[in-house]
Structure 1
Amino acid sequence: MKIIISGAYAIGCHLARLLSREHEDIVVMDTDEERFSHIGSDVDILTMEASSTSIEALKNAGAEKADLFIAVTPDESKNMNSCVLAKALGTKKTVAKIDNAEYIAPDLQEFFSQLGVSKLIYPEMLAATDINNGLKMSWVRQRWDVHGGALVMLGVKLRETCTILDRPMREICGPEDPFHIVAIKRGDDTIIPGGNDCLQMYDLAYFMTTKQYIPYVRKIVGKEHYVDVKNVMIMGGGATAVRTVKTMPTYMDVKIIETDEQRCERLNSILEDEKALIINGDGRDLSLLIEEGIKNTQAFVALTGNAETNILACLTAKRMGVRKTVAMVENIDYVSMAESLDIGTIINKKSIAASHIYQMMLDANVHNVRFLMTANADVAEFIPSEGSKVTQKPVKDLGLPVGMTIGGLVRDGVGLLVSGNTMIQPGDSVMVFCHNVNMKKIEKFFL
């Protein structure tokens, strides 16, 4: 597959490294040669110092025969214009990163598609969705809903209150049980569990279940004492904070702490219709946090542009009794450190955006590809076509690659957990969880 990436910034560099693992033919374009050094010398790609709004440069990059053109520079207009040019030259699919919430309205998708922009990516909105999913359930590190919650994946940190520790999987989640454990993150290792594997204290376990059994999962993992989130404190008033507040459930009350006075005035204007109190101050100031009621706050969300600040602020909030903390960590090198410090949910916008772009390079009917940084694994929703390999035999006889498991499926709007005897049907939405498996290898089962 021929892929062109415009912009060697955070998302572009991350995508180049991610896609190079698939051994794709990749060209990265940027007007500043120094930015290419952020990709790394060990990545097998071609770099081109040129503007993606130049027709000649696009031709030299191979846009006339490219399968996918990805524009992820900080300039929204440049991204969209270069997508229009690439599509006109013959590129099959195009993706543009944007920062205007108006453009992502569902009724505008066809409009932009006709212009030549196949897909729009708004990282702040994607991050806000993940943040709010986490806030809705204070006891969960990560939540992923499929088909409006017909199937739900929950990432849960296990403590001493968990009732299913140290027991083989075959005893705790058999074919008749209302959940499957599809993966376990233990220290630096990710485990796709078999029947003899056991859960241990401090594991991050990924449960696949249906919406009606979420309370049951909450009970067995010993999280019933966690209070639901009502009061939220956000440190940092950037675009991600704005999108989070605008899409937050109405029953939540939120305070935003922002150091810049002019930005506070702007936030008051942007969020005048929301239940948000804007506070001019430093979220690292303990006296300010106490004054603003941190001890009566159920969730603390750190969204400044500095990863270290966000991590330290969440650690402080934890020490002051806040159960649910969320930290935006844009430096991927810090993600494992943040996880080891047990600060709570970690948000990385470039990883979230890359996951959504990644699914466009697959030929199968696939939706909602997500890269789970903490588990170093991928989860995706595949829809098998008529006659595909995955529909020919029971799951246990499919010969699935090591490191891949099927957690569940949605059929006619109803979520179903999958056992070895399950027969998958064409049109099912099938949840696939994989670790160290090429996604191209997996999609062959669904074509």
Structure 2
Amino acid sequence: MNIIVVGCGKVGLTLADQLNKEGHDITIVDQDEKVLRHAVDFLDIMGIHGNGAMLQTLREAGVQNADVLIAATSRDEVNMLCCLFAKKEGNCRTIARIRDPQYTTEISYLRDELNLAMVINPDMAAAKEIERLLRFPSAMKVDSFSRGKLDLIRVKVPKESQLIGIPLHTFQKDTGLNVLITLIQRGEDILIPNGFDALEADDLMSFIAAPKDVSKFFIKLGVDYTPVRDCIIVGGGRISYYIARYIDEMHLNMRLKIIDSNKERCEYLADVLPDSIIINGDGIDAELLKKEGIENTDAFCSLTGFDEENIMLSLYAGKLSDARLITKINRIAFENVTNEMNLGSVIYPKQIVAESILRYVRALENSKGSNVETLYKLADGKAEALEFKVLNDPDLINIPFADLSFKQGVLICGIIRQNKIITPRGSDVMKVGDRVIVVTTNTGFNDLRDILEVKKEEDIHYEL
């Protein structure tokens, strides 16, 4: 597909990188020639120097023949104007990055009036993920499917867990819970487990379960599951604002403290977030943090605009307390290094946005229509979790899983059928309208049919 990305910032560069790796023809547009040159050299893609909100620049980028245009500059109004011009000139599908909370209540109107295919808000998406992590305080990452009906949860296996060494096929019997282990990351190795595999200490394990079973499984696993009652956030930006809003909307019994050094920002937050405690002060002041209860807090979120500061704050909080740690990282890409640090759950807002757009682009590629409902990158991008909607495909529906031939590295994790959650067994089948959750180390699936092993010519026998 021909895709134009306007804006070479963190989000734009990440999107161009991910989409380029998936084999699309990418053109990136930016007014900063130095930044643009870096993107072109680093990604080996086409670059256009100019203002993406100008018709001449879009024409030079090839908007007439583009399939998708993504406007991801730092200015919401520029992004909306860019999408408007692109839609009029090229009639391509348009995606706009809109961050300002003032537009939150008008997103539906803007989407309809500008005929946008999608509106992305990295801050809101990151806040939603953090809110889920605060609800599941023992998890390192929580990915939700089918609007929260099913959760894929990542957790580290404790050294003294009683479930270590037990074959996975006996898990349901041993725990009495409907839980399925979907992925095990053991050092550099990524494993889609079978029934004879077993957990080892310090494994990074992903499991899928209904929300009602999650806390019970944590207890069986030996992971502490104490609800978060007090949370300290350093950094009063948009993400913190959205977190407070989500906590209020979910009616969570949680006391929230937000620390920020900008007095005007604190005054604004105090006005719009009356249920939160807003503190004007330096978030890296050790004495202030101790005074505000860092040693006893249940959760600590480092959400400043500086990666290095967030890393140091989380390391400090982890040294002083047993708090649930959440660390926001925007630029630093050394995941193999940060994974070794005690940073708790690391949030990459740009990656969250990239996943949602990749899902949309893959759905466009599918000749049968939109099939990919949800997509998450797992294990540093080495695996994926996808949600598909089952269409009327005779090669898939009403055939027992035991009779289907799946590719290596594919696991069917769950079926959602009329709000009922099914943990699939060999005798289960897919039906039209089902939502099917797949975890795979084969990245790049666009269609549910991609999970099937394609028969070789010599394997096909013809009747004479």
Does TM, scored on the shorter chain, surpass 0.5? yes
Please list the CA deviations of residues 41-89 of structure 1 after superposition, one character each: whole Å capped at 9, or x if unmatched: 3534211112222223322322223221111010111111111111122
Q: CA deviation at 1:418?
A: 1.7
In structure 2, distance between residues paired with 1:101 and 1:393: 48
The residue matched to 2:207 in structure 1 has which SS?
A: strand
Q: 1:111 to 1:257 in 2, by over 3 A?
A: closer
**Structure 1 residues 24-423: aligned runs within 5 Å:** 24-39=24-39, 41=41, 43-105=43-105, 108-109=107-108, 112-172=111-171, 178-223=178-223, 225-248=224-247, 249-271=251-273, 273=274, 275-363=275-363, 364-372=370-378, 374=380, 376-387=382-393, 389-391=395-397, 393-423=399-429
The residue matched to 2:64 in structure 1 has which SS?
A: helix
In structure 2, distance between residues paired with 1:371 and 1:234: 26
Task: Give the aligned residue type for 1:160.
Answer: K
Q: 1:148 to 1:57 in 2, by over 3 A?
A: closer
Does structure 1 conserve the Cα–Cα contact (< 8 Å) formed by 2:372 and 2:446? no
Q: CA deviation at 1:124?
A: 0.7
Task: Give the aligned residue type for 1:216.
Answer: K
Greater CA drift, 180-189 or 299-308: 180-189
In structure 1, distance between residues paired with 2:182 and 2:123: 28
Q: 1:308 to 1:188 in 2, by over 3 A?
A: farther
Q: CA deviation at 1:185?
A: 1.9
In structure 1, distance between residues paired with 2:295 and 2:54: 55
Q: CA deviation at 1:331?
A: 1.9
Q: 1:393 to 1:348 in 2, by over 3 A?
A: same
Task: Give the aligned residue type for 2:330.
Answer: E
In structure 2, distance between residues paired with 1:16 and 1:291: 44
Does structure 2 conserve the Cα–Cα contact (< 8 Å) formed by 1:185 and 1:375? no
Q: CA deviation at 1:96?
A: 0.3
The residue matched to 1:380 in structure 2 has which SS?
A: strand
Task: Give the aligned residue type for 2:14.
Answer: H
In structure 2, distance between residues paired with 1:40 and 1:432: 34
In structure 1, distance between residues paired with 2:260 and 2:194: 47
In structure 1, distance between residues paired with 2:91 and 2:172: 47
Does structure 1 conserve the Cα–Cα contact (< 8 Å) formed by 2:355 and 2:376? yes
Q: 1:442 to 1:340 in 2, by over 3 A?
A: farther
Q: 1:195 to 1:354 in 2, by over 3 A?
A: same
Corresponding residue number in structure 2 for 1:426: 432
Q: Could you list the runs of 5+ residues in structure 2 that have no partner in the other structure?
A: 364-369, 453-464
Does structure 2 conserve the Cα–Cα contact (< 8 Å) formed by 1:362 and 1:443? no
Q: 1:59 to 1:404 in 2, by over 3 A?
A: farther
Q: CA deviation at 1:374?
A: 4.2
Q: CA deviation at 1:262?
A: 3.0
Decide which structure has the larger Cα Rg and report it. Answer: 2
In structure 1, distance between residues paired with 2:237 and 2:62: 37
The residue matched to 1:340 in structure 2 has which SS?
A: coil
In structure 1, distance between residues paired with 2:328 and 2:239: 10
Please list the CA deviations of residues 334-363 of structure 1 after superposition, one character each: whole Å capped at 9, or x if unmatched: 433222113211111100111111111123
The residue matched to 1:166 in structure 2 has which SS?
A: coil
In structure 2, distance between residues paired with 1:101 and 1:134: 22
In structure 2, distance between residues paired with 1:50 and 1:206: 44
In structure 1, distance between residues paired with 2:16 and 2:186: 28
In structure 1, distance between residues paired with 2:172 and 2:65: 48
Q: 1:49 to 1:150 in 2, by over 3 A?
A: same
- TM-score norm. by structure 2 comes to 0.88
In structure 2, distance between residues paired with 1:375 and 1:60: 33
Q: Could you list the runs of 5+ residues in structure 1 that have no partner in the other structure?
A: none
The residue matched to 2:163 in structure 1 has which SS?
A: coil
The residue matched to 2:446 in structure 1 has which SS?
A: helix
In structure 1, distance between residues paired with 2:206 and 2:24: 30
Does structure 2 conserve the Cα–Cα contact (< 8 Å) formed by 1:315 and 1:343? yes
Does structure 2 conserve the Cα–Cα contact (< 8 Å) formed by 1:401 and 1:437? no
Greater CA drift, 283-292 or 396-405: 396-405
Please list the CA deviations of residues 347-400 of structure 1 after superposition, one character each: whole Å capped at 9, or x if unmatched: 111001111111111233222322236464322211021126432633344333
Corresponding residue number in structure 2 for 1:4: 4
Q: 1:350 to 1:285 in 2, by over 3 A?
A: same
In structure 1, distance between residues paired with 2:132 and 2:187: 25
In structure 1, distance between residues paired with 2:109 and 2:277: 37
Greater CA drift, 7-16 or 152-161: 152-161
Please list the CA deviations of residues 18-42 of structure 1 after superposition, one character each: whole Å capped at 9, or x if unmatched: 1111111111111222113443635
Identity of aligned residues (%): 29
Please list the CA deviations of residues 102-161 of structure 1 after superposition, one character each: whole Å capped at 9, or x if unmatched: 5444x8536523422221111111011000100012111112233354322111111124
In structure 1, distance between residues paired with 2:340 and 2:448: 31
Task: Give the aligned residue type for 1:85.
Answer: F
Does structure 1 conserve the Cα–Cα contact (< 8 Å) formed by 2:218 and 2:225? no
The residue matched to 1:88 in structure 2 has which SS?
A: helix
Q: 1:410 to 1:331 in 2, by over 3 A?
A: same
Does structure 1 conserve the Cα–Cα contact (< 8 Å) formed by 2:410 and 2:451? no
The residue matched to 1:256 in structure 2 has which SS?
A: strand
Q: CA deviation at 1:430?
A: 1.1
RMSD: 2.4
Corresponding residue number in structure 1 for 2:445: 439
Does structure 2 conserve the Cα–Cα contact (< 8 Å) formed by 1:185 and 1:203? yes
In structure 2, distance between residues paired with 1:104 and 1:389: 43
